[in-house]
């Protein structure tokens, strides 16, 4: 235990993550982390020694680059979106630095437990969408918003949440009710599942038999809302995480655990097939043509990014050819379009630095957590990242950096 300095407390992070159901119900899912990150920043300022490892420093550099990109904003509506996205990045930077410097009280097991609670909230939101797909409500914060703010589509989606995205593509005989709660969009729900499920697997190594059985049951229960999303990208991300963990286990000669992961994945795939996932995906693709739409949007985003390669445009802007904004449908595309090619480079360098700096992953818990970063790299080209998704990546990165440093000292 470190002595001679005040230990950073766990409660700001605990409130941030365990409090997700409350923040969602109040409409403070974006605002509460900002307030709690401010508290963390205050604790860091009075901390006697704050260390800044390279990956976290790179993320702070990325956040700093986003600041001058605000000069490219051309409307007040887009300025609101820019401010919310920037606040997310700043919160994640502070939380990452805080967790990294708080090994005494913000322990790995506490962090895993808090992230598992977020995953359980996502699971509950998925079933809420299945039970009441047309449901929604105006939050306390949403009811207080001035009309000027409430008329912004992005702000409206955040503070007047619905339980599911209801889509009825032209020509389709049925509508698709795709789980979204506690997030505004189905893709946000899918991204959260991809990033948090490896944390749940990591928790299986740290809990007792009863809790392990409950978590396994919860994992099986996740297949119903997951199938309802018909979200191909989510399953690609989960498959990549499973393949990564199995590959490294086999390389280490731990065939038994690798087989267990494969069997669990096989059971999950069987449940998804039984829930009708292949048919839902095929029907959605037939009528929605989402692949063609994305391809055209990506081509336009790339071409327009070349017209403003340094600072980008500050925020996504309406597409020239369809109703979807350029700079959406994937976080990498949003960064490239909004913050320029330099912003994109800084983000990619951060992700690669986080991956390589924590590659050691000496134990099963670290290996499962490292799969979060693998999944993040897989999904950022086609998924957006909001506050909870980014917090998961940042917190896991900070924990892995600590564990890798300890493992490195032991290996000397």
Q: What is the DSSP string of 254-287?
A: -HHHHHHHHHHHHHHHHHHHHTTHHHHHHHHHHH
Q: Are strands 317-318 and 176-179 parallel, antiparallel or unpaired?
A: unpaired
pLDDT at 170: 42
Is the distance from CB of 270 to CB of 305 less than 8 angstroms? no
Q: Write the pLDDT tens digit of every residue in 190-204.
A: 999 999 999 999 998
Q: Write the pLDDT tens digit of every residue in 30-73.
A: 999 999 999 999 999 998 789 999 999 999 999 999 999 999 99
% of the chain residues with pLDDT over 70: 87
Tokens coding 105: 């009280």
pLDDT score of 5 more than 80: no
Tell which residue, 225, 195, 233, has the closest CA to residue 329. 233
- φ/ψ region of 357 (left if φ > 0, alpha if ψ in -120 to 50, else beta) reads alpha
**Which helix or strand (DSSP H or E) is residue 43 part of?**
helix 31-46
Higher pLDDT pick, 97 / 286: 97
pLDDT score of 103 more than 60: yes
Long-range contacts of 288-295 (CB under 8 A, 24+ apart): 288/167, 288/169, 288/172, 289/169, 293/322, 293/324, 294/329, 294/382
Tell which residue, 62, 67, 58, has the closest CA to residue 314. 67
Long-range contacts of 46-50 (CB under 8 A, 24+ apart): 46/6, 47/5, 47/6, 47/8, 47/101, 48/4, 48/5, 48/6, 49/5, 50/97, 50/101
**CA distances (Å), 169 to each of 189, 232, 284, in order?**
20, 17, 8
Which residues contact residue 74 at a Cβ distance below 8 angstroms, ignoring those fewer than 6 apart? 313, 314
**Which helix or strand (DSSP H or E) is residue 208 part of?**
none
Q: Write the pLDDT tens digit of every residue in 359-374.
A: 887 788 899 999 999 9
CA 193 – CA 123 distance, rounded (Å): 9
Higher pLDDT pick, 2 / 202: 202
CA 170 – CA 230 distance, rounded (Å): 17
Which one-letter DSSP state was computed for residue 329?
Answer: S
Residue 237 CB burial class (10 angstroms; 0-12, 13-18, ≥19): buried
**CA distances (Å), 302 to each of 41, 72, 317, 354, 403, in order?**
37, 17, 13, 26, 38
Average pLDDT, the chain: 87
pLDDT score of 2 more than 50: no
CA 359 – CA 405 distance, rounded (Å): 11
3-class state of residue 162 by DSSP: strand
CA 143 – CA 17 distance, rounded (Å): 24
Tokens coding 141: 């914060």
Average pLDDT over residues 322-339: 91
Tokens coding 315: 């925020």
pLDDT at 280: 58
Q: Kindly report which listed range (124-128, 168-172, 185-189, 390-394) carries the lowest average pLDDT score.
A: 168-172
pLDDT score of 332 more than 60: yes
Q: Kindly report which listed range (36-45, 164-173, 235-244, 260-269) carries the lowest average pLDDT score.
A: 164-173
Average pLDDT over residues 97-115: 96
Tokens coding 296: 């055209």
Please name every residue paired with 166 in a beta bridge, in sequence order, or none if there are none: 177
Tokens coding 273: 């097939």
Q: Write the pLDDT tens digit of every residue in 145-192.
A: 887 777 777 788 888 889 998 875 544 446 667 899 999 899 999 999
pLDDT score of 237 more than 50: yes
pTM, two decimal places? 0.92
Is the distance from CB of 304 to CB of 310 less than 8 angstroms? no
Half-sphere exposure of 180 (CA within 13 A, CB side): 23
Render 66-95 in DSSP notation, one character per residue. HTGGGGG--SHHHHHHHHHHHHHHHHHHHH
pLDDT score of 269 more than 90: no
pLDDT at 3: 46
pLDDT score of 412 more than 70: no
pLDDT at 252: 75
Q: In whole angstroms, what separates CA 226 from the centre of its chain?
A: 16
pLDDT score of 287 more than 50: no
């Amino acid at each position: 235990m470190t002595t001679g300095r005040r230990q950073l407390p766990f409660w700001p992070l605990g409130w941030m993550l365990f409090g997700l159901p409350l923040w969602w119900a109040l409409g403070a899912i974006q605002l509460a982390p900002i307030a709690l990150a401010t508290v963390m920043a205050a604790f860091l300022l009075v901390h006697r020694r704050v260390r800044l490892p390279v990956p976290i420093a790179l993320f702070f550099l990325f956040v700093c680059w986003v600041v001058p990109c605000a000069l490219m904003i051309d409307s007040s509506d887009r300025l609101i979106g820019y401010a919310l996205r920037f606040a997310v990045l700043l919160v994640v930077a502070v939380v990452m630095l805080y967790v990294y410097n708080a090994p005494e009280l913000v322990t790995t097991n506490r962090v895993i437990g808090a992230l598992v609670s977020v995953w359980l909230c996502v699971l509950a939101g998925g079933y809420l969408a299945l039970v009441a797909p047309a449901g929604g409500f105006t939050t306390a914060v949403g009811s207080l918003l001035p009309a000027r703010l409430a008329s912004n589509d992005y702000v409206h989606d955040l503070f007047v949440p619905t339980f599911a995205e209801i889509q009825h593509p032209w020509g389709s005989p049925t509508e698709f009710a795709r789980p979204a709660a506690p997030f505004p969009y189905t893709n946000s729900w899918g991204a959260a599942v991809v990033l948090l499920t490896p944390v749940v697997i990591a928790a299986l190594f740290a809990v007792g038999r009863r809790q392990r059985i409950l978590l396994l049951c919860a994992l099986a229960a996740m297949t119903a809302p997951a199938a309802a999303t018909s979200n191909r990208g989510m399953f690609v991300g989960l498959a990549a995480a499973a393949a990564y963990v199995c590959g490294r286990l086999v390389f280490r000669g731990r065939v038994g655990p690798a087989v267990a992961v494969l069997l669990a994945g096989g059971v999950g795939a069987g449940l998804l097939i039984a829930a009708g996932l292949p048919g839902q995906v095929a029907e959605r693709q037939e009528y929605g043509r989402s692949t063609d739409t994305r391809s055209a949007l990506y081509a336009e985003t790339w071409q327009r990014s070349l017209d403003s390669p340094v600072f980008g445009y500050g925020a996504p802007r309406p597409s020239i050819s369809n109703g979807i904004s350029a700079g959406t449908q994937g976080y990498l595309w949003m960064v490239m379009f909004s913050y320029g090619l330099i912003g994109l480079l800084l983000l990619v360098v951060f992700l690669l630095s986080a991956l390589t700096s924590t590659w050691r992953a000496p134990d099963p818990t670290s290996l499962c957590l490292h799969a979060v970063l693998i999944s993040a790299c897989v999904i950022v080209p086609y998924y957006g990242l909001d506050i909870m998704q980014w917090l998961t990546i940042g917190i896991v990165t900070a924990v892995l950096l600590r564990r890798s440093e300890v493992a490195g000292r032991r290996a000397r």
